[in-house]
Amino acid sequence: MRPVELIMKKRDGGTFTEAEIGFLVEGFSRGEIPDYQFSALLMAIVLKGMSPEETALLTRAMIRSGEVIDLSGVPGPLVDKHSTGGVGDKISLVLAPLAAACGLRVPMMSGRSLGHTGGTLDKLEAIPGFRTDLPRERFVQALEQVGFAMIGQSEAVVPADRKMYALRDVTGTVESIPLITASIMSKKFAEGAEALVFDVKCGSGAFMKSIADARALAGSLVRTGTGLGRKVVAVLSDMDQPLGRKVGNFLEVEETIDCLRGRGPRDVMDLTHRLVAWMLVAGGVCPGVAEGEQLSRARLADGSAWKLFLKSVQFQGGDVECILDPARGPRAPVVRPLPSPADGAVRRIDAYRIGLASVVLGAGRSRKEDAVFPGVGLSLLRTQSEPVRRGEPLALVHGQSEAAVGQALALCAQAFEIGPEAPGPGARVLEEMGSP
């Protein structure tokens, strides 16, 4: 086989065989197919697409490019959740201990922020001392002793995805549902989960802006995972407005603490309980989502999830005293309010502009090599449907410098829509589909 022939085949709308996909992935992973040829292949895939069968074969080939974590000795059920990314999305930090408290083992391999969406690893590493680079043996021990672990992708796990994503990022080939599906599913299969729940975000603060695109990605994830022998559920959730009231790394850790101690924002907790419920159904712990939600709420109320979160922080090297007293955590030196321009109520907060403001402040990255500041971000003092008077603060902006705070304030001013009346807060869960 020759790469150029396969590029032309896909360019002309052809369908790849298993052998052809294996040849392409293995050749690129080993450096035998150069970037310029693989870039052409990726663009052909973006333009011509891939069938569900091709997507599953691509996922398998990417998994085979590296190591698969063997969790066969860990008592299950092993169930993970993955979000496609959003603004203020600290769900994983709340969900993992809560799901573990309900009887699941949660092997969670997470990512870092890129663009306007936050990253779970950056939030965890905002806790002083917290390590997300656990060796495999320690990862397995965390699952056995704590019930969950949150780590980053190692060099040995799905190296094909790491190389492909870096190339997609600079060649305008990120927006392809088959490529996104294979990227996500290969990492999740390699981490050892038996069942998966996907939180597919939709709206201005998500990568999928329309419900049609989010539905297409959710369907692809469910079909591919089911075809590869896993139980998979996809929950489509609204990301037109930020989740919760805090955006930024340690600020979101603070809100996680509030959530686990029973005083978190309703939108964050409602979505968390729904996702945990589906995890419990997919793992065979509960017969339906109603029973799953009931169990999730019970484990939050009795403090079980909070205790497991503290145990996890200690196990992964974090400063537990900083969690018990968040005032000891990272703080930005400059904090400025955003005053309301008028009397009225908050009609909408544009998640995308809030996400961009967080990047300007240094809570996120424009490029993968950018550093992040743990203490910066935004505290939303008013959210959708809440009343406000002219001059009252809508938000607090936390930054490293007056210049960065000034830029963020300008973006936040564009994000808030104030009117005489406002609709009630909309439901976060838009649709659900799955295979349990």
Domain range annotation of the chain? 3-49, 79-324+430-434, 331-419
Q: Would residue 187 show up in a list of annotated catalytic residues for this protein? A: yes
- Cα 262 → chain centroid: 23
Residue 372 has a pLDDT of: 87
Residue 382 has a pLDDT of: 96
> Whats the size of the chain, residue-wise?
436
- The answer as to CATH 3.40.225.10 being correct for domain 79-324+430-434 is no
Strands of 387-388's sheet, edge to edge? 387-388, 344-349, 416-419
Residue 227 has a pLDDT of: 87
For residue 323, what are its two tokens? 């969690």
Residue 156 has a pLDDT of: 78
The span from the CA of 126 to the CA of 150, in Å, is: 14
Cα dihedral angle (208, 209, 212, 216), rounded to 10 degrees?
A: 0
381 neighbors 394 (Cβ within 8 angstroms): yes
The span from the CA of 237 to the CA of 312, in Å, is: 27
Q: Would residue 183 show up in a list of annotated catalytic residues for this protein? A: yes
Residue 150 DSSP label: E
Catalytic entry in 183, 186, 220, 237:
183
Q: What are 390-412's pLDDT values in tens digits?
A: 999 999 999 999 999 999 999 99
Residue 162 has a pLDDT of: 84
Catalytic entry in 105, 116, 123, 168:
168
Q: What are 62-75's pLDDT values in tens digits?
A: 999 988 888 988 98
Catalytic entry in 161, 238, 240, 258:
161
Q: Would residue 82 show up in a list of annotated catalytic residues for this protein? A: yes
CATH classification code of 331-419: 3.90.1170.30
Same topology, domains 79-324+430-434 and 331-419? Answer is: no
Catalytic entry in 81, 187, 230, 382:
187
Question: Whose CA is closest to 200, among 430, 368, 435, 436?
Answer: 430
**Positions of the chain with pLDDT lower than 50, given as ranges:** 436
| 73 Cβ contact list (under 8 Å, min separation 6) | 140
Q: What are 130-156's pLDDT values in tens digits?
A: 999 998 899 999 999 999 999 987 777
CATH classification code of 3-49: 1.20.970.10
Q: Would residue 258 show up in a list of annotated catalytic residues for this protein? A: no
Residue 113 has a pLDDT of: 60
Residue 309 has a pLDDT of: 98
Question: Whose CA is closest to 81, among 232, 217, 198?
Answer: 198
Residue 41 has a pLDDT of: 97
432 neighbors 234 (Cβ within 8 angstroms): yes
Catalytic entry in 82, 105, 353, 365:
82
Question: Whose CA is closest to 193, among 295, 278, 279?
Answer: 279
